[in-house]
Amino acid sequence: MVFLTLFNLARNRGPDKYWRVQQQLRMSWHFRTRTRTCYRIGMNVVNKALMYSYNGRKLKKEQMKYLWNTRIEAGAGEHGLTRRELLEGLARSDILLDKKVLSELAVYEPRTFQSLTEIAKKTMSDTRVGKPLNVLYEK
Amino acid sequence: MAHHRVQQWATFARQWWVYDATWQCPFRSAPAIIKHLQGKHKPIYHPTNDCGDHVVVINSKHIAMEGDLWRTFKYSHHTGGKDSEDPDLETFSENVPDEILKNLSGQIQQVMTVPKGIHEYTEEEKAEFPALFDWPQDHIMMRSGPSKPKQ
């Protein structure tokens, strides 16, 4: 609210109840029963929804990373590489593509992804230390 | 005119894979098979997308179990119901049916290298192999028969 006079500003104590109710109703318009219309009944539901959305913003990032990793693993596996070998090879080749872009390339541009795996393979075989690539498990 | 932008040949098809379980550790083979059943070997994988494939495991009676696990390992499965019991494992003791074999389109890579048995080497190869000493006449090269049970 805008106060043009100093007297009204001093008299104002906190947010007006009308505006507080309207703020909550804007967030509860898609609920069911009286939680969408009544302020007092919908108070806990709106707070819980805000908690869920706050946590979901973190969970979404984790789940998307998990999905990207799975897709990169699948795309690299088609060309005989693991995800770690592909990412390590690209990093050593100074190809700075993140996991989101790599997973999209694996789905929508498989030829581009294949050329990236070949670059990673060559770099890893040139700068390899330790066991060779794609070796079966031997006991 | 072909729309190459939307070409999705066999992208969402359900494929059939074969896995040869000869001399393979079942506990290491399971993740490799699960990956194909869930569709995690495809770049289009999504948890809500039904993109898994079929897997046919052959020679499952020739798997390599460690130690005495052939005798001691229990495959327990309990549904929690009142009268539920541990179900018997269904296996094709005979050959795989032809209507299944004709669907196969690929093979899953084995997780372990199949070792070559001592009986598969020829006598010439055995003679050429460098030896530090000669075995006694009554020495048995390979253990046969069941091992002792665990106490």
Global ipTM: 0.72
Q: How do B106-107 and B54-58 pair as beta strands?
A: unpaired
Instruction: Write out residues in chain B with pLDDT < 70, as ranges.
Output: 1-3, 5, 83-94, 141-151
Q: State the pLDDT at residue A14.
A: 59
Provide the shortest C-alpha distance from residue A7 to chain B (in Å).
60
Q: State the pLDDT at residue A105.
A: 94
Domain boundaries, given as residue ranges, for chain A: 14-57, 60-136
Instruction: Report the C-alpha gap between B95 and A37 in whole angstroms.
Output: 67
Q: State the pLDDT at residue A139.
A: 39
Whole-model pTM over 0.90? no
Q: Give the 3-state secondary structure of residue A132.
A: coil
Q: State the pLDDT at residue B122.
A: 87
pLDDT per residue as tens, chain A (139 positions): 677 888 777 766 656 788 889 899 999 999 999 999 999 999 999 999 999 999 999 999 999 999 999 999 999 999 988 999 899 999 989 999 999 999 999 999 999 999 999 999 888 888 876 665 555 554 3
* Of residues B40, B109, B111, nearest to A74 (C-beta): B40
- Contact residues of A toward B, CB < 8 A: 67, 70-71, 73-75, 77-78, 103, 106-107, 110, 113, 136-139
Cα→Cα distances A81→A117, B11, B18, B19, B81, Å: 8, 21, 21, 20, 45
Query: A95 is written with which tokens?
Result: 């190809």
CA torsion, ordered A16, A20, A23, A25, to nearest 10 deg: -130
Q: Which class in CATH covers the domain with range A60-136?
A: mainly alpha
Cα→Cα distances B73→A76, B68, B69, B85, B87, Å: 35, 8, 5, 17, 15
Cα→Cα distances B87→B76, B82, B90, B124, Å: 8, 14, 9, 49
Query: Residue B15 belongs to what H/E stretch?
Result: none
Q: State the pLDDT at residue B116.
A: 82
CA quadruple A33, A34, A39, A42: dihedral positive or negative?
negative
B42 contacts in A (CB within 8 Å)? Answer: 74
User: Domains in chain B, ordered, with CATH?
Assistant: 16-75+83-116 (3.90.1180.10)
